[in-house]
Structure 1
Amino acid sequence: MSNTTLSGRPLTRRGVLTAVTAAAAAHTILRPSQASATRRRHAYDVIVVGAGFAGITAARDLRRKGLRVLILEARNRIGGRTWTSTFQGEQVEMGGVWVDPMQTHVWQEIEDQGIGLVADPAADRTLFPTATGFGYFSPEEAFGRQGELLTQFCEQAPQVFSDPTDPMAQADVLRLVDSYSIRDRLNAMGLSTLDEKWLSGATGGLGGGSDRGAYTQFLHWWALCNYNAEQYYGINTYRPAGGMTGLAQAILTEAAADLRLNSPVRSITDNGREVTVRTRAGMSYTASSVVVAVPVNVWNTIDFAPGLSLQRRRASSETFGVPGAQKLWLRLRTSLGNTYVHTPDGYPVDTLVPIKQFADSQLMVGFSNDRRLNVNNVAQVERAVRLVVPDARVLAVKGQNWGADPYARGGWSFRRPGQLTGLLDAIQRPQGRISFATSDIASGWSGYVEGAIESGLRAAEQVTHYAFR
């Protein structure tokens, strides 16, 4: 990794860093005079709605084609469902955070930008369910046994996803299992009570609960990790040293697009010749085409004319992003030490990951799907943590409720049963002069920054030809 450096910590969650050998593509920015003269009737060739990774990637790719791009972002910041902030004097990520060399787009981006990496430390021990509550295990024992259970859970992955980058490659086989929820698969395995506790949190918690999440979504991630438990565990190890916002800003700078923050979109009208976007503040912009780069859950909050396709309306109503997803950073005073905490499906805090040890406490990051939990309320969070760690004292907490965010309406994407075979192909396609870009509809790493970049590149390609007519 010629352009990356690690934090110097000798022990990481990923034992071996796989080299990425893909060479950086040569980028050429076309001169505006090379495009059609008919473009001059508008100030912009393409309007991108949303400045998350999908939107800024699309904007940069369009700029490289010589097109003039306007980005309209509802928030007062860029990044979408990634957001670098501070807590207790530490840089923290309130949304997406980890990257991996298997995620080739984002990894190459980090290398191209010369951004360093931080490798989060491995835990010294784990706290997992027991027959009578919770107990401590070595990482080798806990992840070894859980890895065996995950391998059993995902035994169909090689047949269902023979090519993980093309999820429909085995469509006939996929249709046989895409209607199953994670709970359906757990029930079919005939697990002991304890084994199910060890497995359900690792599978159901990610999708907003075992009943909500699709079995095939987890199989897809497993396939992208080469059907391998060690690689699956390793994908949440590395993060950009300057934060996700820093990486996003580097891409945005290259895009050289006009950016309007605090500009939530009210309506998008495609009359067949051009597309007009109106903001809630009453501003109106027209271009030859538009990239809608907001989460699927938000699509139904925008007025489209003609209206959204049935499949898109259904996708937005059913949700792709986990509606109750919350992330929280905690400073804990407890006997835990450098311990990874795993809870079964249904606990108010489903995972606690150690990040940094202080003299009198530790910094941890946690995740929750419990909409009743106020992740910014110290007392509520302390009660939730004490269900697992009775001596826990929460000194400070900072959380983000992504389901309550009006411009996200959910967190990371995790498809529901039937959505892959019933919706994905249709909602990846353009609708007239409008294309859609979001990690939610990626063919590969849906739910990760990698998926957002993939989707942004596809949407930019889809709308380009309209600007040169």
Structure 2
Amino acid sequence: MSNTTISGLPLTRRGVLTAVTAAAAAHTVLRPPPASAARTRNVYDVIVVGAGFAGVTAARALRRKGLQVLILEARNRIGGRTWTTTFEGEQVEMGGVWVDPMQTHVWQEIEHQGVGLVADPAADRTLFPTTTDFGYFSLEEAFGRQGELLTRFCERAPELFPDPTNPLARVDLLRRVDPQTIRDRLNALRLTDLDEKWLTGATGGLGGGSDRGAYTQFLHWWALCNYNADQYYGINTYRPASGMADLAQGILTEAAADLRLNSPVRSITDNGREVTVRTKTGTTYTASSVVVAVPVNVWKTIEFGPALSPQRRRATSETFGVPTAQKLWLRLQTSLGNTYVHTPDGYPVDTLVPIKQLADSQLMVGFSGDQRLDVNNVAQVERAVRLVVPDARVLAVKGQNWGTDPYARGGWSFRRPGQLTGLLNAIQLPQGRISFATSDIASGWSGYVEGAMESGLRAAEQVTRYAIR
């Protein structure tokens, strides 16, 4: 694993990354806020609910307009569905982690803060399904063949998503295919059993299973990667050297907002003149407007007055974030070595990525969509890994079940059938003096920090007309 500056990106795992570095963001001079006496009365210009990347990005944008901003965060930390911590003496990310030059908001932020990058190392080989079990393949063979299958799976992406940052540009065509699941598309391809195993290794786990995820969501990501397998494989390579928490803290510091941790919100009431926010501890705050910067899956846990729109109620009921998403870090003793592992639909661990060779073991990160698996139980994780690697010995494990996290209720976002054409546009709009910001409803990189920042900037613009007097 190597630290690198942004201008010197190395060749890394799963293909050559072919993208140019975005220009550095200009430093913005912050206007001083109005007199602070209003804060003693719990009155602000804008209240932001949630201190993930969407929330802190919105707060900074509002601060740059000279507004008083309060951030209410339910957890005892910032970052939302990103979370930097340690495991076996190593810095690890339990949530969102990867960034890329094609993701312009977050890339410019990295340059703006002068953050170094870590490039995850390339694997030496892969472990992919065979007709009867699993076998080792070279990177060229495994990703070459899987890339061909993905290209076939996504062959309509240029037609349906000609402008990936405007996903509804061809809504007339999308309406016909948006109801389809990934499974529907797989069935239509009539693949061999082996080809389907290889393809679902790349498509199934991302959406919480092929029967849950929308075919159009995967096409959208493919379009954002320039309809190209090498760029799709390379998108999850670079991460901030000092951690996602440090990057979020840099934005929060510039926001100069008041922050209240351990402050889960009970209710948000918009009376047409101002918005009142009540926390579960009984504290009340008021503001001209509010940015709700929590995941879509969490909206249903907050009492809104007036009630959420029908589209928002449907969205939070159906879920946008994958409700079964789990991430786990493992210290593994095995003959596996520096190997990238993909399993097909139905396995309790769907991906294992080698990160670092330790003195007596391998540090790997894995993903699971199986809620029966306790990702913090060494014995359970070892049994799950041995379904693929029979000699695996798990020495230690640290996991995060995002589905059972009360302030996430799911992991990365992956839309369900019909949500793109039936919900996205409506739930991006404000509801009275309340706007919504989350990676789940981004027009571009939903499911990534980039999408959270995009959404935070949009929400900040939406509420500004109420906040500036």
Q: Is the 8 A contact 1:6 1:119 kept in 2?
A: no
User: What is the CA-CA distance between 1:10 and the residue it aligns to?
Assistant: 6.3
Structure 1 residues 220 and 256 mapped into 2: Cα distance closer, same or farther (>3 Å)? same
SS of the equivalent of 2:200 reads helix
Deviation at 1:41, TM superposition (A): 8.6
Deviations 1:94-124 (A, max 9, x none): 0001000000000000000000000000100
Q: Counterpart in 1 of 2:16?
A: 15
Unaligned runs of 5+ in 1: none
Q: Is the 8 A contact 1:106 1:453 kept in 2?
A: yes
Partner of 1:366: 366
- Give distance in 2, aligned partners of 1:467 and 1:7: 42
The whole-number CA distance in structure 1 between the counterparts of 2:109 and 2:344 is: 36
Aligned-pair CA distance for 1:176: 1.2
For the residues of structure 1 that align with 2:26 and 2:83, how far apart are their CA atoms?
A: 28
CA contact (8 A) 1:129 1:135 kept: yes
Q: Which one is further off, 353-362 or 91-100?
A: 353-362
The aligned residue for residue 427 of structure 1 is 427
Contact 1:9 1:121 in 2 (8 A): no
Matched, 1:279 2:279: yes
The residue matched to 1:430 in structure 2 has which SS?
coil
The answer as to whether partners of 2:7 and 2:21 remain within 8 angstroms in 1 is no
Matches of 1:14 and 1:229 in 2, distance apart?
9
The one-letter amino acid of 1:259's match is L
Distance change (3 Å), C-alpha of 1:33 and 1:248: closer
1:390 counterpart residue number: 390
* Equivalent in the alignment of 2:168: 168
Q: Pairwise mapping of residues 347-366 of structure 1 onto structure 2 (< 5 A)?
A: 347-366=347-366
Q: Secondary structure at the match of 1:403?
A: coil
| Alpha-carbon distance in 2 for matches of 1:232, 1:68 | 41
The offset of 1:27, in angstroms, is: 1.9
SS in 1 for 2:403: helix
1:125 is matched with 125
Cα shift at 1:25: 3.8
SS at match of 2:144: helix
**Deviation at 1:468?**
1.8
Alignment of 1:284-303 (within 5 A): 284-303=284-303
Give me the whole-angstrom Cα distance separating, in 2, the residues matched to 1:437 and 1:318: 18
Other-structure match for 2:223? 223
Match of 1:330 in 2: 330
Distance 2:371 2:11 in 1: 38
C-alpha separation in 2, matches of 1:180 and 1:206: 16
* 1:359 maps to amino acid: A
CA distance in 1, matches of 2:17, 2:236: 13
1:16/1:312 Cα in 2 relative to 1: closer, same or farther (>3 Å)? closer
CA-to-partner distance for each residue in 1:349-376, whole Å, 9 max, x for gaps?
Answer: 0000000012321000000000000000
| Structure 2 letter corresponding to 1:229 | A
The residue number in structure 2 matching 1:448 is 448
Cα distance in 1 between the residues matched to 2:145 and 2:153: 12
Q: Percent identity?
A: 82
Q: CA deviation at 1:26?
A: 5.0
What RMSD in Å do the two structures reach over aligned CA positions? Answer: 1.9
Give the letter for the 1:339 counterpart: T
User: Does the residue aligned with 1:329 lie in a helix, a strand or coil?
Assistant: strand
8 A contact 1:374–1:380 mirrored in 2: yes
Figure out how many residues of one structure are paired with residues of the other and give that number: 465
Query: Contact 2:440 / 2:446 at 8 angstroms: preserved in 1?
Result: yes
Q: Is the 8 A contact 2:179 2:418 kept in 1?
A: yes
Aligned match of 1:189: 189
Given that 1:6 and 1:116 are in contact with CA atoms closer than 8 Å, whether structure 2 keeps it comes out as no
Whether contact under 8 Å (1:7, 1:119) holds in the other structure is: no
